[in-house]
Amino acid sequence: MGALAFYTFIYFVGHFAALGLNIITNKKLLRHRWAGLAGVIIVAIMHGYKIISTTPPSGHDDDTLYALSYFVIFPVVVISAVLFYLSEKDKKDGGSK
């Protein structure tokens, strides 16, 4: 679950960076949620490339597919699902972020 916490941290960095940029410019340039998700996807692509391009450490019999699915794909899917749920909830409530 460390990977999920890591990607959640990356999401909040992107989220608050977009919020800060919007506050500084006094315009709504970026949507907070999608900017955070873009950061998560960029880091996930780099992380996945690193997992694929290196050999596993000695003593670990885990294959590359397991590492990709557990440490990259699972956290990104969880964060994306939460964001899509919240955006649909906002649409039903009439709010927009």
Q: What is the mean pLDDT of each run of 10 residues along the chain (97 residues)?
A: 93 93 88 89 96 80 84 96 91 69
pLDDT at 96: 53
pLDDT at 65: 86
Single out the residue of 36, 2, 4 nearest to residue 19, CA to CA.
36
Entry pTM: 0.83
pLDDT at 46: 97
pLDDT at 57: 74
